[in-house]
Structure 1
């Protein structure tokens, strides 16, 4: 298992004595859990600390869901849904996306139309819901929960409580209290792991295993990454390397990073990555703005700006070496589309050529580049990749002298919403 990080510039030239010293300090702070925000460093050794009895409980819960239901509705926002959504989208088929159970997400937006149509759709299904919230009072999922709990109680009566699972704080919060009152099954959000770092906890794992995917392999990938990225090796540790390159480009006047992929299966990995880095770094007037493109689709839209627009961005390619399924261009007797010159080329190979051509063009246009390459998209490689990003993000934020684990700006908007709506205590 490996992940490679390559830079279009001279990496050795940007690894200064100051950077080396700072990386050593950050590394020590993370692994002694004395860094700023250390109360939320539980994710660092979480994969290797998972107990078999806990994993068995998770599998038993997933089996129970599948016995009762053919749809699981996951209610959550931000880190409460993006991790599992990213993995499910990466592993699913395009037109028959669900392995054993259909997973639908709610509470990640406020839309009467979405909720109304969702409940109409559920009428022909057997349903379980999983409400994910540390507090239970986050507005968007709380609104969805109010409607969907009412729906479940009207439809299933006393049996509704056996079809509602909550993933919440172990010791406090409105959702915990509701679960105890109603008799819902409870899973725990660890106290020392924040939402955007929670994909390897019950928050991310239950929807993935319920859908029929191999969380043992997913966790094994994360365990391997946990071991590999623990080394203080500035030249060869890809998480540290990525963080150092990002810091150098930021200091060089490139405050915007575009994560580009040619694999549509990874589009929600991009969305998860945006939250991870955006919430972790964007504070105190600092931080790289994370955005994403899907190629070659966006080469026919945003590609123009990337090639010739203002030089404020750098581009990071997320690449896969192997495709799980593919097609080979065949020779046509008529050649009316003039594509016979591609005969014998697989579409994955075409995308790799497209990557090389795009990379070359954008470099000539003055866009600095990083490439991150994994072997393939499966449970183990996804576990490895997501842990890589989490560790790289921690190093990257600490290099900016930022706490990676709070989100004061998010709390600001929530407070304003409560004031505008005249919530008691906020008027």
Structure 2
């Protein structure tokens, strides 16, 4: 369901020279012998996921969909980005599903939190708080605010029915609270890190609340799992992408720009940036992940890409069949001189813009381009895409000989912040 076009990538080496490296890393991933091997649960997840939990997710979502107007997804990073990417990509930016999804716990902005409180004044709402530890500061502050609002408005018992906790299966502050309060709980698996967790209860409950078929999504991921359980670089497209980006890095391109041509895929790019940035940026190594939405950003970043310093290569995600399409209408006066497009589909225009941009950036701008094409962005296609990028990321990062599954650097800002906040014991 995903194809790769490397004819514009300006690769200066033969990809076949990496065949043995890829074979070794493939076995490292599947035999769990590499760095961070305790966090490889995502590899077989599309087959080994907890069927009973998925059934409970669907049952809980169906119940709450009948009661509430809004679901507050309270989490940060991998605790919300995957779900938001899926919901925006599949339902669009003007969704028609019954329950509106609002994301909190991902910022310290007092203005944002206060505006959400005000917005909920005449809305029925539920909360899905997502944190393995239950002590993530951004998430915990927001949860305190909205838990108090729910209990004040609905009373303790009704609030308990409308709070769902996704957390560690056995320990931690949130698990303790959820047990004491009787919240419905879903599990953050021990062997799946946050940025790989969209196909666990972390992502699946909000996605189900948005009316999306989560079993179709898992089915798409299972197809990708079967397809990419393959050590052969000549046929494994996920590994070809992972290797190509490292070849370009080696050739002197320190930044990768992930490009989409659909506004509703902006959060897919944000999820992709966390997946690759947090996995790869260690030991003074790695490719800087950036993103753009074309053609919008061609009127700003396009100038730098075309004529600026040659530090970026582009990875374009194109979808062959759009979710919806329109036809360009005819106008009798034709003052804008667009009647030559009358009767053409807007998606056709979008794809021609993509073709023209690739030619401009590659031929004139000398910017390498990798083109990925997904058949269709539906629930199945999204699940397939998630697994594709997860597998490609593991391959690419292991090629750098760093641990793809830890994130020691993000603890530095937290330590400094806790000291400034006066947290007891902070140094």
2:360 paired with 1:374: no
Deviation, structure 1 residue 334:
1.5
- How far apart are the structure 1 equivalents of 2:238 and 2:16? 17
**Alignment partner, residue 285 of structure 1:** 284
2:175 paired with 1:176: yes
- How far apart are the structure 1 equivalents of 2:121 and 2:10? 59
**Alignment partner, residue 106 of structure 1:** 104
Deviates most, 356-365 or 75-84: 356-365
Deviation, structure 1 residue 413:
1.1
**Alignment partner, residue 91 of structure 1:** 90
Q: Give the structure-1-normalised TM-score.
A: 0.97
User: Is the 8 Å Cα contact of residues 16 and 234 (structure 2) preserved in structure 1?
Assistant: no
User: Which secondary structure does the structure 1 equivalent of 2:290 belong to?
Assistant: strand
Q: Which runs of 5+ in 1 are unaligned?
A: none
Q: Which runs of 5+ in 2 are unaligned?
A: none
User: Is the 8 Å Cα contact of residues 188 and 202 (structure 1) preserved in structure 2?
Assistant: yes
User: Which secondary structure does the structure 2 equivalent of 1:234 belong to?
Assistant: coil
**Alignment partner, residue 142 of structure 2:** 144
**Alignment partner, residue 134 of structure 1:** 132
User: Which secondary structure does the structure 2 equivalent of 1:115 belong to?
Assistant: helix
Alpha-carbon spacing, 1:113–1:351, altered in 2? closer, same or farther (3 Å):
same
What are the Cα deviations for residues 56-108 of structure 1, in whole angstroms up to 9, with x where unaligned? 1111111121132121111000000000000000111433x141311111001
Deviation, structure 1 residue 325:
1.4
Deviation, structure 1 residue 265:
1.8
What are the Cα deviations for residues 234-267 of structure 1, in whole angstroms up to 9, with x where unaligned? 0121110001100100000001000111111211
User: Which secondary structure does the structure 2 equivalent of 1:317 belong to?
Assistant: strand
Alpha-carbon spacing, 1:174–1:51, altered in 2? closer, same or farther (3 Å):
closer
What are the Cα deviations for residues 40-64 of structure 1, in whole angstroms up to 9, with x where unaligned? 0000000111243222111111112
**Alignment partner, residue 345 of structure 2:** 346
Task: Give the alignment of 1:11-90 within 5 angstroms.
Answer: 13-17=13-17, 19-90=18-89
Deviation, structure 1 residue 156:
1.2
- How far apart are the structure 2 equivalents of 1:338 and 1:238? 42
What are the Cα deviations for residues 272-318 of structure 1, in whole angstroms up to 9, with x where unaligned? 00000000000000000011111111111000000000011101111
Task: Give the alignment of 1:146-295 within 5 angstroms.
Answer: 146-158=144-156, 159-295=158-294
Deviates most, 330-339 or 304-313: 330-339
Deviation, structure 1 residue 150:
1.0
Deviation, structure 1 residue 212:
1.0
CA RMSD for the aligned pairs?
1.3
- How far apart are the structure 2 equivalents of 1:392 and 1:12? 20
Q: Give the structure-2-normalised TM-score.
A: 0.97
